[in-house]
Structure 1
Amino acid sequence: MKTKFMLTMLLIFTLLLTACSGGNGNNAGNNAEIDDVIKMVWYPNESGEDMKSSREEIGRLISEATGKKVEHQLTTDYAIAIETMVNNNADIAFTGSQSYIEAQNRNDAIRTIAVKSGESGTLDDAKYYSWLAVDVDEQDKYKENGEFSLDTIANTKFSFVSNSSTSGFKVPSENIIAHFSQQEEYKDLMPEDLMGGGPLFSQVLFGNSHQGSAVNLLTGNADVAAFCDTCVDEYVEIAEGDENTVGAVYRVKDGAAEPFNTVAGKEFALMSVTPVLNEPFIVNMDVLGQEDFDKIQALLTSDEFANNEKIFAPEDSEQTALFTKKGKERLIAVEDEWYDPIRELSR
């Protein structure tokens, strides 16, 4: 009787372990189910009211293509969006390339479905820019011999976007470490060292969105801020110099939407500009399924989608949209290997 009892308890214990382990690591999708609702999760950058028309239009088109209801999940934190995808609580997301790689490392059901092309309509110029910006009136403090120098950002108040952001943390932190690690004082500098005050910065802030990081700079809470061009494009205009070049000055537009409504007219200068591979739309295949993947990919990469002004607003339009069309921009199917250059930064 005692032996039978022990075997029964062992069986129950084994079943409990199996049930509890189903959602961990690269097996996160094993217990997922495909249902009649497609859940889209959005980063804080695209969760604002100004992007509502784009979100709703994309949702409407996906619903028409699949015959399923689309639900939007808005977030205030990058980590929440990533966790939602990894834990099978969303089917599709628009993320940065670093977030895609982080999510895929934790759940191998995560795949890319499409990425925005460059102005050429191809992947050849499918890139955006990671900026380091400073207050225009303080820019001379960040120059040596008349040229901007990273040496000058030591002991400043610095704002990143999120430690899961490609252009708002990963790329700028790699550049900063590559520069300062050549100096004896900072030879052991690591990415985690840049997440808090010291040894390099006097204080580190996280804006939780590119807009938030930019506003940290413009309100004086940060001396230097990292953010990208495309995420603030709707709020700012070039005031001096050429777009996406070191030394260019940008001004916040009059009537800019939140969170820039309190800093209209403020200007900042670019001290560093680094090209980054465009952000992908990603999916969780265990909750989406191949049939819906094929339908959604055909939609996203269609001429109809590329010519929809609620999603791709013309450059001279006053309408706010997810993307701005300056040339032949469209979404293109992309393979995982295309993101290997970003993946290499994490090794």
Structure 2
Amino acid sequence: MTPLKRTLLLTGMVGLSLAAAGCSTKSNADQAGKSKELTVVFLPGDSAKEATAARTALASEIHKATGKKVNVKTTTDYNVAIQAITSGKAQVALMGPDGYIQAHKQNSAVKPILTYSGKSGTLKDAQYHSYVMVPKAKAAQYKVNGKYSLNKIKGQRMSFVSNTSTSGFAIPAGAIQTAFKLKSKDDLQQNNKFFSKVLFGGSHQGSAVNLLKGDADVAAFDDMDLVQYGKFTNDSTKAGADFKVNADAPAPFNSVRGKESIALAAYPVQNEPLVVNSKGVSQSDVNKIVKAFTSKRVANDPKFFAPADAKVRGLFTKDGKTQFIGISDKWYAPTHKVLGE
């Protein structure tokens, strides 16, 4: 679970009264690109204080590419970010795959233009991982025939990220639904249905802290949003993955330093996109943004791709030849299929 994810900026929250999305018209199309300002909205995980330098870098790069003033909109709720980009209140967004697909479903003008590669520098391994985790001290209780399993999570206290998070809800909830042959995911979001209690951390960090503080027995979160706070001590791609919080981890992990969690299951997730609302960003500006972000200069900039042990958080973690790559909605066909959208 996200990375992704800024002096030319307004860091205050943009007003949340969002204009209703209208029908596509020639007038709307003509307005795309005419505004002298762009607003970029970020999900809660990328809105944290420690991600300020990364947000500044992204917004500054868009400014340099387009010549337009760039405002930053941080959020504490996934739905606010989705509503901002679909309504056109924001014209650019860094989103999770599920958040993008939900936004695209509401407004087809929302389109992905970039994602980041895997270690190979290509899209072949452009993925991260979603986990269903439990505290290490209690992990053995969830084994079935010597292997970690989801079979014993029913009735426990569960923490998800947000019901619009790909790796923090959609993927793990889908896996739980399949494992227990549930009719829908609805019961997974309510207390005293499948789980005795259901929490939403609001971010991957928040969900992990719910688990490590003892407020939840089981939690869903991803790796990309956690590696700035700790590290995996073994294979992070499968059940049994052991995540340990760093001894000097900053807030919100300062109260759970040194604690560990074990994955009952791990699921691959397509990397997150940078998206635009094409009614507010011209194709010319899109081309300029893609050209700038796919440059070697950006690929080698630690504000975008920082080493895992960097003291200042980058937008994403540098691993091998990690770089931005231009994409379209077609690349997300596998996620569309998984989510049924």
- Measure the CA separation in 2 of the matches of 1:168 and 1:61: 29
Report the Cα offset of residue 248 of structure 1: 2.4
- What is the RMSD computed on CA atoms of the aligned residues? 1.8
Q: Does 1:35 align with 2:29?
A: no
**Structure 1 residue aligned with 2:12:** none
Report the Cα offset of residue 266 of structure 1: 1.1
**Structure 1 residue aligned with 2:97:** 97
Query: TM-score w.r.t. structure 1 length?
Result: 0.88
**Aligned mate of 1:277, from 250, 255, 270:** 270
Q: Does 1:113 align with 2:113?
A: yes
Q: Which has the larger radius of gyration?
A: 1
**Structure 1 residue aligned with 2:232:** 238
**Aligned mate of 1:192, from 179, 186, 190:** 186
* Pair 28,84 (structure 1): closer, same or farther in 2 beyond 3 Å: farther
Moved more, 254-263 or 76-85: 254-263
Q: String of CA shifts for 1:111-131, please: whole Å, max 9, x gaps.
A: 111001000000000000001
- Measure the CA separation in 2 of the matches of 1:307 and 1:177: 41
**Aligned mate of 1:206, from 192, 200, 203:** 200
- Measure the CA separation in 2 of the matches of 1:52 and 1:244: 29
Q: Does 1:23 align with 2:17?
A: no
Look up the equivalent residue of 1:301 and give its one-letter code: T
- Measure the CA separation in 1 of the matches of 2:99 and 2:66: 26
**Structure 2 residue aligned with 1:152:** 152
Report the Cα offset of residue 319 of structure 1: 2.9
SS in 1 for 2:151: helix
SS in 1 for 2:164: coil
Q: Does 1:80 align with 2:77?
A: no
Alignment of 1:258-269 (within 5 A): 258-269=251-262
Moved more, 57-66 or 27-36: 27-36
**Aligned mate of 2:299, from 299, 306, 312:** 306
Do 2:159 and 2:199's aligned partners in 1 also have CA atoms closer than 8 Å? yes
Moved more, 227-236 or 138-147: 138-147
Look up the equivalent residue of 2:225 and give its one-letter code: C
Report the Cα offset of residue 44 of structure 1: 0.4
Moved more, 217-226 or 61-70: 61-70
- Measure the CA separation in 2 of the matches of 1:319 and 1:208: 23
Q: String of CA shifts for 1:293-345, please: whole Å, max 9, x gaps.
A: 11111111111111111111124433311111120000101121111111112
Look up the equivalent residue of 1:321 and give its one-letter code: G
**Structure 1 residue aligned with 2:127:** 127
**Aligned mate of 2:221, from 227, 230, 253:** 227
The number of residue pairs the alignment matches comes to 319
**Structure 1 residue aligned with 2:143:** 143
Ranges in structure 2 where 5+ consecutive residues have no aligned partner = 1-18
Q: String of CA shifts for 1:185-244, please: whole Å, max 9, x gaps.
A: x5x3x11111112431111110110000000101111100000000111001233x3233
Do 1:26 and 1:107's aligned partners in 2 also have CA atoms closer than 8 Å? no
Q: Does 1:45 align with 2:45?
A: yes
Q: Percent identity?
A: 41
SS in 2 for 1:150: coil
**Aligned mate of 1:342, from 331, 335, 338:** 335
Report the Cα offset of residue 74 of structure 1: 0.4
Report the Cα offset of residue 140 of structure 1: 1.2
Do 1:29 and 1:88's aligned partners in 2 also have CA atoms closer than 8 Å? no
- Name the structure where helix makes up a greater proportion of residues: 1
- Measure the CA separation in 1 of the matches of 2:311 and 2:72: 25
* Pair 317,28 (structure 1): closer, same or farther in 2 beyond 3 Å: farther
Do 1:252 and 1:266's aligned partners in 2 also have CA atoms closer than 8 Å? yes
SS in 2 for 1:71: strand
* Pair 132,217 (structure 1): closer, same or farther in 2 beyond 3 Å: same
Report the Cα offset of residue 265 of structure 1: 1.1
Do 2:228 and 2:308's aligned partners in 1 also have CA atoms closer than 8 Å? no
- Measure the CA separation in 2 of the matches of 1:198 and 1:277: 32
Do 1:247 and 1:270's aligned partners in 2 also have CA atoms closer than 8 Å? yes
Do 2:294 and 2:326's aligned partners in 1 also have CA atoms closer than 8 Å? yes
